[in-house]
Structure 1
Amino acid sequence: MTDIASLIADDPAAAAEHLRAVVGRDPFHAAAQRLLGRALRALGEDDEAEAAELAAIRAATRDPEALEIAHALFEGDLQTAEGLLRQRLREQPTDVAAIRMMAELAARIGRLRDSEALLRRALELAPGFLAARGNLATVLYKQNRFEDASAELEEVLARDPASPSNRNLLAAALGRIGNYEEALKLYGELLETFPDHAKLQMSQGHMLKTVGRLDEGIAAYRRALAIEPGLGEVWWSLANLKTVSFDDADIAAMEAALAGNPQPDDRLHLHFALGKAYGDRHQAEPSFLHYEAGNALRREQLGYDPESTTKQVDEVVAVFTPDFVAERSGLGDPSPDPIFVLGLPRAGSTLLEQILASHSQVEGTMELPDIPAMAMREAIRAGDEMRDWPRAVAAMAPARLAELGAEFLDRTRVQRKTGKPFYIDKLPNNWSYAGFIHLILPKAKIIDARRHPLDCCFSNFRQHFAKGQAFSYGLDDIGRYYADYIRAMDHYDAVLPGRIHRVIHEDLLDDPEGEVRRLLEYLGLEFEEACLDFHANTRAVRTASSEQVRRPINREGVGQWQAYEEWLGPLKAALGDLPETYARH
């Protein structure tokens, strides 16, 4: 076929005529079909070219070697699959089916960028390969590139509108960029076709809860449980509303599901939901034991190393000296638009966001993944570990800071649905990147939401997060994480005095108007009464506090750790004197 490949470049019409004859005799001749596709593309006969490209893919999947690779992937034998794929692609570098399988392998081991590059190569060779385009959308979604994923899915669905898996993924992606009504429409259509699909009912429930249609969301969750009573994530989703109380029948159903040897994810969700159920009944011991069991399962899955956070804060302290900060002052993008609300999860950041989003000049969005993604990318490009962004920033050309600030504004533009001049990114974990934010967006505002460490840390222990927050599944880990957060904020206060505005959650509960006025003064905004009536705001809220911030300020969450104090020794030891001093730092 080497001579034919050369002929395509010189005389694609003659090459196409010859190749049509070959595939006429053997329609499963994959190499000939691929070359025919190339020749037809060169002639501008795109429809026929696509048919040949897809025929080549179908033919390749009948090959015994390809079947062996597929079997190895199915069995999880990635080492064997990789060896066979590398050999095959050396011999047949344009085998699109093999390229797609290599992309799947890369995605499985977390090499999402490599997977994306492979899938784009597959689509360059066979633009009509919808399965590869659907895979690309999934890889983009996993990289938090939801707008890009949506665009790929729209193209897939234009060709294959009935694909339920791609419609489901599109609904999820649309929700992540704030197109909630369109997402709900998609879920409704899917459920008309698949009314007994428990996870679809659950996904619809998630979206209904986000937009504040709570009763409908609960009904969707209950429908999911009627279909699949042991689906732990649904039980936890109900518990995570914070406003739902489980009755005796609910607890019996969860205990029965737990006794039935469920899958690990169902098991840990059931433990967290039962922890909440018994806690609501003031039965501290069974409540704690369930939380402890759920956390142990999740901690084993995630394998968090607290030293990694400590080392990152060490790097911040070492790199962000007064001279370092002064030398880079004002070099980032000058836009004042973003407002960052950061701290620990469960520290009141959603409440602050809801208060600010009730102001006529401020738009609430969600917890945006962009700052960590950009900082970690820069660290990797510099040849460092993902958490070593301070070292990468120290070596960065000054002009790069403004480029990164502009990139953040561009990446988050899709989240801005109104004409308001300011918008919020309330990802709590951004405390780890506060110095990065300061350098790339020197006029952006940064707000540190801080809550009493025992309330905050134990609230994290009782919370199962949809993803991330690996620190939160061990009492000692949580305490150390809180202490490292305080250490980082103390350092920024020393080298960037007045740069970060702090709101102590308990002070906000005691004096809402005073704290809100001080907060708005820091932002340079006039006081508006609507900020105190934040609970009337009907905007979508994605976090675990979604229902709590739809009620007036209350003290229900204060002191909840006290009923569990006898089990909190590791947390208290890790925190040291912070329960007494956190508000003075």
Structure 2
Amino acid sequence: MAGPAAPLAQAMAHALRLLERSPALALEQAEEILRQAGPHPPARLVQAIALERCGQAPAAISEMESLVSGHPGWATAQIEFGLMLGRAGHGERAIVALSRGLALAPEHPQAWRILGDHLSATGDDAGADHAYSMHTRHAASDPVLIAAGDALVANRIPEAERLLRGQLQANPTDVAAIRMLAEVAARLGRLEDAETLLARCLELAPGFHAARHNYAMVLHRANKPEQALAQIERLLADEPGNPGARNLKAVVLCRVGDYLPAIELYEGIVQEYPEHGRIWLSYGHALKTAGLRERAIEAYRRSIALDPGFGEAWWSLANLKTFRFDASDIAAMDAARRQPGLDDEQRAQFEFALGKAHEDAGHYGPSFEHYREGNRIRRAALPYRADDASTRVQRSRELFTPAFLRQREGSGCPARDPIFVVGLPRSGSTLVEQILSSHPSVEGTMELPEVISLTHDLRREGAEGGAASYHDVLATLDPGRLRELGERYLERTRVQRKTAAPHFIDKMPNNFFHVGLIHLMLPNARIVDVRRHPMACCFSGFKQYFARGQNFSYGLADIGRYYLDYLALMAHFDQVLPGRVHRVVYEHLVDDTEAQVRALLHYCGLPFDPACLRFFENDRPVRTASSEQVRRPIYREGLDQWRHFEPWLGELQATLGEALDTYPEPPPARAADRSMRQ
């Protein structure tokens, strides 16, 4: 029997057809249904969607809000509401609605993808990864891909890899399987494999949005910012408001030093996700680096207000160095670090921030206890073997003998562009960089990872032949290959250069390990070694929570050993390449700034410029922990701050030994060391 339901169903089917080709007519049809049938939920859904497509987004959102409020268990309505909120720029609310809808009905792959984009924009990488994995799981219809997707969601990586390799052996152009296998490779840290797979995936399916987003992420993680930006622009060309792509673009722009457009992007994102502390934190980092200190403090404070237990935001305030906590801040941090369930990373950041707060207040005993506890937590999470650094130094000293270097004279790329500033972190290298970059012929960039990336390339090249280190490969390279390495370095760093200045600075301190490689591939590049008193330098590193790397810094004996290895390697190059490296002693720079600056500029082949003495007026972006300090004139107060902590630094003093007596020169070389240099 055809009752009233039959005409209603026919009218709804007609409304849905109209929705695709004429939203205005669909709106009229939905309103007519509602007049005839009363508050019919499917007709209200069509009405809301049609309103949005007719350009009436506020009215559509109001209607959807009423609809989902009355039908909280209706998954389709919740998901449509979330999608609509996201398109209108209400990212915070979109996350809530999409999460509710997908909890009710998880079989909506595109909704998972869009939820992943929103979560990626807020900095919730774990949540985004889960959403993207669920998208992969539900987008697949092949039973093998469904099983592989389940394994990926559950992080059963070996099982997922086995299933996907079998699928691709039978179906080599299955783009869904290729993308999933790339995800496996990325999770295992095999970025080169992931990059190759995703490039192939997009070659087969250029419109595969999710794969392109993955590709941009992998390129960013592989230190290929220009290529990553190219992929992000393609994503944004198709979907200009995509929040995940916009956030990733801001991250990559910061990576290449384009902070002002990154800040503009973050300003839009924090308006869409005002309740997510991690976005405010990223925004604060960009503001800090651009020298916008007060705005950075406001962003960090906003992050803390949203989540008082967010240790990283508290440490970010401490890491401004010139910022001072008050008593209420100290009480809040002390309470937050004691909260049950706080993860170790956040707890460590609270300890470092409290160490800084108590040090500023002159409470040196409590300050040291907080520093010690923060380092203990960090050390447990980042195992470090001091012998490994000593072995690297020893291998370098064995390879770079006078005879070896003479045989390769005239090799490498002749460009004079780079000025490498090396040393230990917290040695004063940022100050030297700020001085040099104040010269009109020199551009400051950041701590560039390209030299270290080249060592990784060489290590991979030698892995098949059983090479123990990149030095083994370097020893076999002819002049043409050495020149190619230098040219590759220049090409990879080109994206960091924003001006026409003939020189640029690479201030990666750990490049002291690679002075020999730098000399061989760029023989005309300048190398400046910045040296600070061992106790001051080492203890300053011990007080620092580094975002990544510098694992040696979380133990007093380890950091002392590292300093001694640094001294030994630089002494070796002073012997085998006399005059090749220019040394700036931090204390001498403080005592007689002009004479030291003149000597530095002379070494770099640059005429003296008075702007180098007014370096604190330079408003360029500075990414390191000293960013606020180098925007002030040189001051002496920091030279002996470590002495306040001397009662607790016996282990460091004992490790450094003779280096304390001979500073700034290294301890006398042992007979075996001297013979190695012959």
Please give the range of the TM-score, normalised by the shorter of the 2 chains. Answer: 0.7 to 0.9
Match of 1:45 in 2: none
Residue deviations 1:40-99 (CA, integer Å, cap 9, x gap): xxxxxxxxxxxxxxxx98986244443332232223222222222223322332222222
Contact residue 376 and residue 387 of structure 1 kept, 8 A: no
Between the aligned partners of 1:290 and 1:100, the Cα distance in structure 2 is 45
For 1:178-217, what aligned pairs fall within 5 Å after superposition?
178-217=257-296
Contact residue 423 and residue 429 of structure 2 kept, 8 A: yes
Residue deviations 1:239-278 (CA, integer Å, cap 9, x gap): 0000111111111211121111312221121111111111
- Length, aligned pairs only: 531
Question: Relative to structure 2, which stretch is displaced further, 94-103 or 456-465?
Answer: 94-103
Between the aligned partners of 1:349 and 1:57, the Cα distance in structure 2 is 46
Give 2:416's match in structure 1, choosing from 336, 344, 349: 336
Match of 2:98 in 1: none
Distance 1:76 1:451, change over 3 A: same
- Amino acid of the residue matched to residue 396 of structure 1? L
Residue deviations 1:145-165 (CA, integer Å, cap 9, x gap): 222211111111111222212
For 1:441-520, what aligned pairs fall within 5 Å after superposition?
441-520=522-601
Match of 1:35 in 2: none
Match of 1:117 in 2: 196
Between the aligned partners of 1:399 and 1:540, the Cα distance in structure 2 is 36
Between the aligned partners of 2:259 and 2:136, the Cα distance in structure 1 is 37
Give 2:496's match in structure 1, choosing from 415, 421, 445: 415
Kindly state the Cα deviation for residue 537 of structure 1 after the two structures are TM-superposed: 0.7
Residue deviations 1:211-235 (CA, integer Å, cap 9, x gap): 1110011011111111111111110
- Amino acid of the residue matched to residue 498 of structure 2? K
Between the aligned partners of 2:466 and 2:605, the Cα distance in structure 1 is 38
Match of 1:372 in 2: 452
- Amino acid of the residue matched to residue 384 of structure 2? Y
Answering whether residue 647 of structure 2 is matched by residue 566 of structure 1, we say: yes
Match of 2:217 in 1: 138
Give 2:381's match in structure 1, choosing from 288, 291, 301: 301
Residue deviations 1:327-379 (CA, integer Å, cap 9, x gap): 11121111111100000010001000000111111111111110111122112
Contact residue 457 and residue 479 of structure 1 kept, 8 A: yes
Match of 1:389 in 2: 470
- Amino acid of the residue matched to residue 334 of structure 2? E
Contact residue 66 and residue 98 of structure 1 kept, 8 A: yes
SS of 2:664's partner is: helix
Match of 1:312 in 2: 392
Which structure has more RCO (C-alpha within 8 Å, separation ≥ 6)? 1
Between the aligned partners of 1:333 and 1:107, the Cα distance in structure 2 is 34
Distance 1:221 1:57, change over 3 A: closer
For 1:347-362, what aligned pairs fall within 5 Å after superposition?
347-362=427-442
Between the aligned partners of 2:363 and 2:162, the Cα distance in structure 1 is 55
- Amino acid of the residue matched to residue 362 of structure 1? V
- Amino acid of the residue matched to residue 562 of structure 1? R
SS of 1:156's partner is: helix
For 1:240-255, what aligned pairs fall within 5 Å after superposition?
240-255=319-334
Distance 1:359 1:474, change over 3 A: same
Match of 2:161 in 1: 82
Kindly state the Cα deviation for residue 125 of structure 1 after the two structures are TM-superposed: 1.8
Give 2:624's match in structure 1, choosing from 543, 546, 556: 543
Between the aligned partners of 1:421 and 1:526, the Cα distance in structure 2 is 13
Distance 1:336 1:386, change over 3 A: farther
Between the aligned partners of 2:467 and 2:537, the Cα distance in structure 1 is 27
SS of 1:448's partner is: strand
Between the aligned partners of 2:466 and 2:385, the Cα distance in structure 1 is 14
SS of 2:186's partner is: helix
Kindly state the Cα deviation for residue 420 of structure 1 after the two structures are TM-superposed: 1.1
Between the aligned partners of 1:111 and 1:582, the Cα distance in structure 2 is 43
Answering whether residue 301 of structure 2 is matched by residue 222 of structure 1, we say: yes
- Amino acid of the residue matched to residue 68 of structure 1? A
SS of 1:584's partner is: coil
Question: Relative to structure 2, which stretch is displaced further, 82-91 or 115-124?
Answer: 82-91
Match of 1:575 in 2: 656
SS of 1:76's partner is: coil
SS of 1:424's partner is: strand
SS of 1:132's partner is: helix
Match of 1:9 in 2: none
Distance 1:235 1:385, change over 3 A: farther
Between the aligned partners of 2:338 and 2:202, the Cα distance in structure 1 is 47
Give 2:313's match in structure 1, choosing from 234, 237, 247: 234
Residue deviations 1:431-472 (CA, integer Å, cap 9, x gap): 010110000000000000000011101111111111111111
Contact residue 355 and residue 534 of structure 1 kept, 8 A: yes
Between the aligned partners of 2:628 and 2:311, the Cα distance in structure 1 is 21
Match of 2:187 in 1: 108
Residue deviations 1:395-438 (CA, integer Å, cap 9, x gap): 11221011111111111111111111111111101101011000
TM-score, normalised by the number of residues in structure 2: 0.76
Match of 2:150 in 1: 71
Between the aligned partners of 1:560 and 1:446, the Cα distance in structure 2 is 29
Distance 1:106 1:570, change over 3 A: farther
SS of 2:663's partner is: helix
Answering whether residue 352 of structure 2 is matched by residue 266 of structure 1, we say: no
Question: Relative to structure 2, which stretch is displaced further, 416-425 or 441-450?
Answer: 416-425
Residue deviations 1:12-62 (CA, integer Å, cap 9, x gap): xxxxxxxxxxxxxxxx9xxxxxxxxxxxxxxxxxxxxxxxxxxx9898624
Identity within the alignment, %: 52
- Amino acid of the residue matched to residue 317 of structure 1? R
Contact residue 137 and residue 150 of structure 2 kept, 8 A: no
Contact residue 60 and residue 66 of structure 1 kept, 8 A: no
SS of 1:341's partner is: strand
Between the aligned partners of 2:527 and 2:144, the Cα distance in structure 1 is 56
Structure showing greater Rg: 2
Distance 1:386 1:510, change over 3 A: farther
- Amino acid of the residue matched to residue 377 of structure 1? D
Between the aligned partners of 2:457 and 2:505, the Cα distance in structure 1 is 22
Structure 2: gaps (5+ residues): 1-106, 108-134, 667-678
Match of 1:279 in 2: 359
TM-score, normalised by the number of residues in structure 1: 0.88
SS of 1:72's partner is: helix
Between the aligned partners of 2:648 and 2:298, the Cα distance in structure 1 is 36
SS of 2:381's partner is: helix
Between the aligned partners of 1:69 and 1:211, the Cα distance in structure 2 is 44
Give 1:177's match in structure 2, choosing from 242, 256, 262: 256
Residue deviations 1:532-555 (CA, integer Å, cap 9, x gap): 110011111111100000000012
Answering whether residue 425 of structure 2 is matched by residue 345 of structure 1, we say: yes
Question: Relative to structure 2, which stretch is displaced further, 363-372 or 72-81?
Answer: 72-81
Contact residue 315 and residue 350 of structure 2 kept, 8 A: yes
Contact residue 136 and residue 180 of structure 2 kept, 8 A: no
Contact residue 136 and residue 149 of structure 2 kept, 8 A: no
Match of 1:18 in 2: none
Between the aligned partners of 1:356 and 1:386, the Cα distance in structure 2 is 38
For 1:3-152, what aligned pairs fall within 5 Å after superposition?
61-152=140-231
Contact residue 601 and residue 608 of structure 2 kept, 8 A: yes
Answering whether residue 513 of structure 2 is matched by residue 432 of structure 1, we say: yes
Residue deviations 1:498-530 (CA, integer Å, cap 9, x gap): 000000001101110111111111111111111
